[in-house]
Amino acid sequence: MILKKILSVGLLLFFLNGSSLFTQGLIPSYIITKGKLPQLAYSSGEDRLGSAKMGYIDTSIVMKVIDTVKNLYKVQLSAMHYAFIEKTYTQPFPDTMLSTALCESWHVKGGSEPGSNLVDSVSFSLSGRVPYKSWMEIDPSRIKIELYNVQSNINWITQLSSAKAVKNVWYEQTESDVLQITIELMKQQHYGYSIGYNGNTLQLKIRRLPAGIQKMTIAIDAGHGGTNLGASGVSSGILEKNYTLLFAKELQKILKKQKIKVLMVRETDTTIENKDRVLWAKQNNPDIFISFHLNSSGRDSVRGVSTYYKHIGFRSFSQSILKRLLEIKDLKEFGNVGSFNFQPIQPTDYPSCLVEIAFLSNKEDEKMILDPKFRTKVANQVFLGIKDWIRDWK
């Protein structure tokens, strides 16, 4: 009993000590986001790709720090909501009383972007930059945005007839400091959107229906490269980085023959960080993004092809590609995998799909990967999958 008491006093002291880190200035009370591609996460949990991502967030957003876990800050989004952010994407912000921002007028219009991609834009005027989260919904197709630490002062939503992708916009103040925005889309298919601040105005740019495959720009990402070797073949010892490039080049050849514009993340054996692949893609603004990888498992009997997506709005794209790949003789199904946190397919800006063609850790799969005819076939089937997906657009 006494022992218990000592223990609990000890624990209490430990916690008091912990909280004094704030007063000692070791943990800032407030942070401001900075750097390239700061990202919010739902938890501090980890799998090999890190914790489940809430999405990218812009820079210069101030949030209150409520805790620190490993390399993360737990930050307050609103009275009831919090998130985690890597410390490297923050810097301390002078102590301040964060006041609740007001959301004012909205503006919906059509327009054209440099690079000839037609977009609709929706802008939300705010009295200050606040944290946000966005996501896609399907059937009906919608983009949802949640703004935190904000109250509605909205009495003016202008919608111009030049808008072609947006059908309706509305909002609900779901909590006293949370505003939920709904953007209903004309088309069933999601083609991607970007979101970020311009001053204190939050801007959403929604990609419209591309005018057929001939007008599209397709980005191909050969996984790994340079010092990042990836997996290796169980019998042959071949490296994933070299073979993803061979598959990528096969698809490049097919698309070029069709006079379709192709962008290659890499064409040589170079090291490119996954984050730089995202920055590169966001800069080059492709209509679709395909990433090739070769799988590996601790169990050598595991084999087959799989496709991966992060956002539900892009699932149909990865399904179309998988369906065609499954037509290849002897290629088994490993499955279609969602909510995948692999960085190159995180952006909402364009539909993306990661293809794990087959397992290098399985002898039968490895034999196929080594066969040039199989590589041509895979590229062909991916091309057919893209075409099917476009044909099925509604």
Q: Report the nearest approach of Zn ion to the CB of residue 302 (Å).
A: 15
- Judged by beta carbon, residue 223 or residue 351, the one nearer Zn ion is 223
- Of the candidate spans 12-20, 270-278, 285-293, 369-377, the one that interacts with Zn ion by CB under 5 A turns out to be 285-293
Q: Report the nearest approach of Zn ion to the CB of residue 321 (Å).
A: 17
CA 239 to mean position of chain CA atoms = 27
Considering only residues 69-108, where is the footprint of Zn ion by CB under 5 A?
none
Q: Report the nearest approach of Zn ion to the CB of residue 256 (Å).
A: 25
Q: Report the nearest approach of Zn ion to the CB of residue 385 (Å).
A: 20
The two tokens of residue 179 are 């505003």
CA 73 to mean position of chain CA atoms = 21
Task: Tell me how many residues contact Zn ion (CB under 5 A).
Answer: 3
Q: Report the nearest approach of Zn ion to the CB of residue 224 (Å).
A: 6
Residue 241 touching Zn ion (CB under 5 A): no
- Judged by beta carbon, residue 210 or residue 230, the one nearer Zn ion is 230
- Judged by beta carbon, residue 277 or residue 293, the one nearer Zn ion is 293
- Of the candidate spans 203-211, 218-226, 277-285, 317-325, the one that interacts with Zn ion by CB under 5 A turns out to be 218-226
- Judged by beta carbon, residue 55 or residue 230, the one nearer Zn ion is 230
Q: Report the nearest approach of Zn ion to the CB of residue 73 (Å).
A: 30
Q: Report the nearest approach of Zn ion to the CB of residue 240 (Å).
A: 5
H, E, C per residue of the chain: CHHHHHHHHHHHHHHHHHHHHHHCCCCCCEEEECCCCCEEECCCCCCCCCCCEEEECCCCCEEEEEEEECCEEEEECCCCCEEEEEHHHEEEECCCCCCCEEEEEEEEEEEECCCCCEEEEEEEEECCCCCEEEEEECCCCEEEEEEECEEECCCCEEECCCCCCEEEEEEEEEECCEEEEEEEECCCCCCCEEEEEECCEEEEEEECCCCCHHHCEEEEEECCECCECCCECCCCCCEHHHHHHHHHHHHHHHHHHCCCEEEECCCCCCCCCHHHHHHHHHHHCCCEEEEEEEECCCCCCCCCEEEECCCHHHHHHHHHHHHHHCCCCCCCEEEEECCCCCHHHCCCCCCEEEEEEEECCCHHHHHHHHCHHHHHHHHHHHHHHHHHHHHCCC
Residue 225 touching Zn ion (CB under 5 A): no
Q: Report the nearest approach of Zn ion to the CB of residue 293 (Å).
A: 3
The two tokens of residue 197 are 């601040």
- Of the candidate spans 137-145, 151-159, 220-228, 302-310, the one that interacts with Zn ion by CB under 5 A turns out to be 220-228
- CA 17/CA 21 separation, integer angstroms: 7
- Of the candidate spans 37-45, 56-64, 227-235, 278-286, the one that interacts with Zn ion by CB under 5 A turns out to be 227-235
- Of the candidate spans 14-22, 98-106, 259-267, 289-297, the one that interacts with Zn ion by CB under 5 A turns out to be 289-297
Residue 293 touching Zn ion (CB under 5 A): yes
Pick one of 28, 210, 230, 286: the residue that binds Zn ion (CB under 5 A): 230
- Judged by beta carbon, residue 120 or residue 366, the one nearer Zn ion is 366
Q: Report the nearest approach of Zn ion to the CB of residue 11 (Å).
A: 44
- Judged by beta carbon, residue 31 or residue 294, the one nearer Zn ion is 294
Pick one of 55, 223, 344, 347: the residue that binds Zn ion (CB under 5 A): 223
- Of the candidate spans 53-61, 99-107, 292-300, 374-382, the one that interacts with Zn ion by CB under 5 A turns out to be 292-300
By CB under 5 A, name the binding residues for Zn ion. Answer: 223, 230, 293
